Amino acid sequence: MSMPERVAICEVGTRDGFQIEPEFIATETKIDMVNRLTAAGLPRIEVTSFVHPKAVPQMRDAAEVMAGIERRPGTVYAALIPNEKGAMRAIEAGVDKLHTVLSASESHNLANVNMTVAESLDKLAAVAPVARDAGIPVQGGISTAFGCPFEGRIPLEKIEAIAARLVDLGFQGISLADTTGMANPAQVQRILEYLIPKFPGIEWNLHTHNTRGMAIPNILVAMSCGVQSFDSSVAGLGGCPFAPGATGNVCTEDLVHCLHAMDVETGIDLDELVAAAQRLEEVIGRPLPGQVMKAGPWDRRYAVPHAVEERLAAL
């Protein structure tokens, strides 16, 4: 398997993870978590979302969070935005990058944002000039790219058509999202090998959910196809409220542990990241899916039992 020497991880826990929590996460707590992730060396953080407070009440403090975080040179602080107004608010708050999202599935897009795919693309068309005038790059996310819980598999031609429209609008990156954890490695390879050559110069990103335990295998295949940018969520927090059965994103510290074990560099301090995950579990108040924060890294060593030590000494 061909692996890159380095990949970029985008942490989405403080947006994708926090947004569906039923109890409001205090602004100071959100800021603290972003600062912990910054200190761990995350190169990209999707900090928050500039959506209408009635749509996502958990994100009503987006501007305050952006104003309160401690920025580290070299880290890109992004925000998810739904439309032109959200883009303007995010730019005013000082984001480095805009993330957008629409579904490849008509039914999921209607459930998620109450718009058809065509209507969502029209909304995003208004975002492009705002971002261009501000000199802010935009990444277009395509949800349910690997399957929809209502419609099943999405025709590849439809994903291609949406990607083409986003590229025509001037978006610099495309993120394919396995929103429901329906993807498998063979499918990921087939889709990426079809799409990537058609859009030269575009940065591809993979956003995976670990609903069926397939996220890291899918990421490894995507890496072999040339993708070097991946979303993940600290401690595996998150899920899609409009996708039945969906659970959290791939866990950041588990993914980083896997990559480091394979000698793929991320620039992230795993110990600091695990500490952030453990703190997040305290904040949320329930066990979270992350495994490495429970088991420790693969190279952790333990004291040999005394009886075994005596036998070894006698050999």
Three-state secondary-structure class, residue 139: strand
Output phi, psi for 84, to 5 deg. -60, -45
Mean pLDDT of the chain: 95
Q: Are 193 and 225 in contact (CB under 8 A)?
A: yes
Query: Could you read off the pLDDT of 28-57 as tens digits, one per residue?
Result: 999 999 999 999 999 999 999 999 999 899
Angstrom CA distances, 234 to 46, 78, 113, stand at: 12, 16, 26
Q: Is the pLDDT of residue 244 over 60?
A: no
DSSP codes of every residue in 37-98 = HHHTT-SEEEEEE---TTT-GGGTTHHHHHHHSPP-TT-EEEEE--SHHHHHHHHHTT-SEE
How do strand 97-103 and strand 76-80 relate by DSSP bridges? parallel
Catalytic residues: 240
In angstroms, rounded to a whole number, what is the distance separating the alpha carbons of residues 215 and 247? 11
Matching CATH number, 8-314, of 3.20.20.70, 3.30.420.40, 1.10.1760.20, 3.40.50.360: 3.20.20.70
Question: What angle do helix axes 117-134 and 106-113 make, rounded to 10 degrees?
Answer: 60
Q: What is the mean pLDDT of residues 219-239?
A: 95
Helices (H) and strands (E) in the chain, counts: 12, 8
Q: Where on the phi/psi map is residue 296: left (φ > 0), alpha (ψ -120 to 50), or beta? A: left
Angstrom CA distances, 56 to 46, 65, 120, 184, stand at: 16, 15, 18, 30
Query: Could you read off the pLDDT of 167-226 as tens digits, one per residue?
Result: 999 999 999 999 889 999 999 999 999 999 999 999 999 999 999 999 999 999 999 999
- The pTM for the full model equals 0.94
Q: Output the six-digit token pair for 138.
A: 């935009």
Angstrom CA distances, 142 to 19, 161, 166, stand at: 19, 11, 10
pLDDT band at 238 (very low <50, low <70, confident <90, very high): confident
In angstroms, rounded to a whole number, what is the distance separating the alpha carbons of residues 223 and 280? 28
Which residues, listed in sequence order, are joined to residue 232 by a DSSP beta bridge? 11
The reported pLDDT for the residue numbered 112 is 85
Domains of the chain, by residue range, sit at 8-314
